[in-house]
Amino acid sequence: MYSLAPLLTAGVDFSTDGFPKQVTIPAGQTSVQFEVRVINDLIVERDEQFQVSFTYSGGQPGVVVRPGFDEANITIENDDG
C-alpha cells in the first residue's frame, strides 16, 4: 500500500484518472512502477512536492518494508515561467 501526502491538489496539480488506489508488488519482485499524471497549466508557481509512503498490508511472515525505504519524496518542477 502507499499514500500521497496532501501537498498537491487532485484535479489541479495531478490527474486521478487511472491513478491506482493501491499497488501490489508481485511475489519474487522487489519493485513496481506507477504513473502520476501531472496537469500542465499556465499558472506560474513554485516547484511542488509530494511524498509517497509505503506500507505492507499482507500476512506473509517475515515480509517488511525496510526502514529508510518506506517513503519517497517527489518534486514536480515548475515549467510555466
Q: What is the pLDDT of residues 5-61, one digit of tens each?
A: 556 777 778 887 877 777 777 778 878 888 888 888 777 878 888 777 777 777 666
Q: State pTM to two decimals.
A: 0.57
Contact predicate 43/80, CB 8 Å:
yes
Based on C-alpha coordinates, what's the Rg of the chain? 15
Residue 79 has pLDDT above 80, yes or no: no
Tell me which DSSP letter residue 10 carries: B
